[in-house]
Copies of this chain bind each other. A is one copy, B any other.
Amino acid sequence: MKKIPHRLYLTEEQMPKQWYNLRADMKELPDPMLNPATFQPVSEEDLYPIFCKQLAHQEMDGTTRYIDIPEEIQDFYKMYRPSPLIRAFNLEKALGTPAKIYYKFEGNNTSGSHKLNSAIAQAYYAKEQGLTSLTTETGAGQWGTALAEACSYYNLPLTVYMVKCSYEQKPFRKAIIETFDGHIVASPSSTTNAGRKILEKDPNTTGSLGCAISEAVEKAVTTEGCRYVLGSVLNQVLLHQSIIGLESKTAMEMLDEYPDIVIGCAGGGSNLGGLIAPFMQDKLTGKASPRIIAVEPASCPSLTRGRYAYDFCDTGRVTPLARMYTLGCGFIPSANHAGGLRYHGMSPILSKLYHDGYMEAVSVEQTKVFEAATLFAKQETILPAPESSHAIRAAIDEALKCKETGEAKTILFGLTGTGYFDMNAYSSYLNGTMTDTVPTDEELEKAFGELPKIPGIQ
């Protein structure tokens, strides 16, 4: 048994030089995306107007197991990676648990989260193709910040459609995205047809990721040399984020450890899909059988209360359809919900794995999440993002179960980022005004009623 340090950093030589494509090891691939006009499976070429070519290729590639990380991206990664694998000695002590808790901390870069891992890859491929601008959406703002950083690095003009309630809750996110030359539009806006239609229907809407995606896609396809990029949900994003899991696994091997339980928060699935990738590989290939747990907010419970169905990826119904766990593309989580994890659907890869029984899911209420967040901050000296704190909550709950049973399980969770821009939410938790807003069954049934009808499929 080796001496366990508090923080383990790999050396640059140990950093992954390839991403891992989880689809190559899945028994059954996720169902194909469908063209929204014809309901036929989309081809790689169908995606070219939306995504740059290399990313469209990565999106469709279900067979190549390992994909080389271009050297330029490796060099960029070295500016902020490897991220540390941290043993939560103090949290364990505070809980009095025999469990060993590890977390992979992705917050040590200015985007404040893991989002930079895919942002730099997407900006790189766009630049390589000679594109001249990009659009995207952002919810909590971490993705918008990460992409602004990446685009600023490559001198690529960027327009960010930011979900209106986040835009209002987080004034300083605007400033940091602008520091990296990003142009921000509060969504829904009157700058696009999709935005105008949504505003016409509900002028007071607080917005949703689905609305913002519609606007960003419309802007991309109607602008010369412009493409759209997305920070989660997509296969390509999970591919880029596999670096989180690959580093984690190497680090745990150095410590002669293997997780009994792997836990990640889940909104669109980018962090969870990346963290679990090599552990899910072990599970799919019969090498190991860790429990894998997705943690989602009770206010936006796509896995635990959604339908596994074909749905649009956006609210304006212009994107291809994906089969995924979804609350319906018109679902808008309560504006009381702080932070991100507010997407109506879930990564098709993760949806399929969950559907096929390889993964568990739990939902947690945000007051319980912030209780975990403040305990964690005091013990581990890191102020976690609300999103990441969903994983902390579940990790604490599993560690407390170990306390009851006396089992010394090894728990690994993803600490995706920091909460410096979420102080309004922390304040509302501290002063007791934070509430939990969970959708009623009736609200969900109504949203499900608007799922697209697809002849012969659903």
Report B-chain residues with C-beta under 8 Å of the C-beta of A7.
12, 78-80
Given known contacts A7-B78, A175-B430, A179-B430, A382 and B110 CB-to-CB distance under 8 angstroms: yes
| Stretch touching chain B among A210-218, A232-240, A415-423 | A415-423
Q: A110-B418, A420-B420, A421-B420 are in contact. Are A381 and B175 (CB under 8 A)?
A: no
Contacts of A423 in B (CB 8 A): 171-172, 175-176
Write out, one digit per residue, whether chain A residues 352-381 have a CB within 8 A of any chain B CB (1) or not (0).
000000000000000000000010011111
CB neighbours of A153 from chain B (8 A):
378-379, 381
How many angstroms from the CA of A181 to the CA of B379 in the assembled complex?
13
Q: Tell yes or no: A152 within 8 A of B by CB.
A: yes
Q: Is B426 a contact partner of A179 (Cβ separation < 8 A)?
A: yes
Q: Which residues of B contact A140 (CB under 8 A)?
A: none
Which residue in chain B gives the minimum CB-CB distance to A173? B423
A383 interface contact, C-beta 8 A: yes
Asked if A9 is at the interface (CB within 8 A of a chain B CB), the reply is yes
A35 within 8 A of B: no
Interchain CB contact under 8 A, B108 and A108: yes
Copies of the polypeptide in the assembly: 2
Q: Does A11 contact B (CB under 8 A)?
A: yes
Q: Determine the distance from Cα of A171 to Cα of B424 in the docked complex, in whole angstroms.
A: 9
C-alpha gap A290/B424 in the complex (Å) = 46
Within 8 A of B (CB), among A177-230: 178-181
Q: List A residues 418-449 near B (Cβ within 8 Å).
A: 418, 420-421, 423-424, 426-427, 430
Q: Which of B6, B9, B149 contacts A79 (CB 8 A)?
A: B6
Q: Which B residue's beta carbon lies closest to that of A145?
A: B383
Question: How far, in Å, is A372 (CB) from chain B's closest CB?
Answer: 13
Instruction: Decide: B80 and A381 in contact? CB cutoff 8 A.
Output: yes
Q: In the bound complex, what is the Cα–Cα distance between A80 and B421 (angstroms)?
A: 21
Q: A110-B377, A152-B378, A381-B110 are in contact. Are A6 and B179 (CB under 8 A)?
A: no
User: What's the Cα separation between A153 and B382 when bound, in Å?
Assistant: 12
Give the distance in Å from the alpha carbon of A53 to the alpha carbon of B420 in the complex.
35
Q: Enumerate chain B residues within 8 angstroms of A109, measured Cβ to Cβ.
A: 381-382
Query: Contacts of A80 on B, CB cut-off 8 Å?
Result: 7, 381
A90 within 8 A of B: yes
Q: In the assembled complex, which residues on chain B have CB atoms less than 8 Å from the CB atom of A180?
A: 377-378
Query: Is A70 among interface residues, defined by CB-CB distance under 8 A?
Result: no
Docked-complex contact B175 and A426, CB < 8 angstroms:
yes
Please give me the residue from chain B that is nearest to A178 by CB atom.
Answer: B430
Q: How far is the CB of A140 from chain B (nearest CB, A)?
A: 14
Partner of A149, one of B86, B176, B381: B381
Which A residues are within 8 Å of any B CB, using their own CB? 5-7, 9, 11-12, 75, 78-80, 86, 90, 108-112, 116, 149, 152-153, 171-172, 175-176, 178-181, 374, 377-383, 418, 420-421, 423-424, 426-427, 430
**Please, could you name 12 A-B residue pairs with CB atoms under 8 Å apart, sorted by A?**
A5-B12, A6-B75, A6-B78, A7-B12, A80-B381, A109-B381, A110-B382, A110-B418, A153-B378, A172-B424, A175-B427, A420-B421
Closest 6 CB pairs of A and B: A172-B423, A420-B420, A175-B423, A6-B78, A110-B383, A175-B427
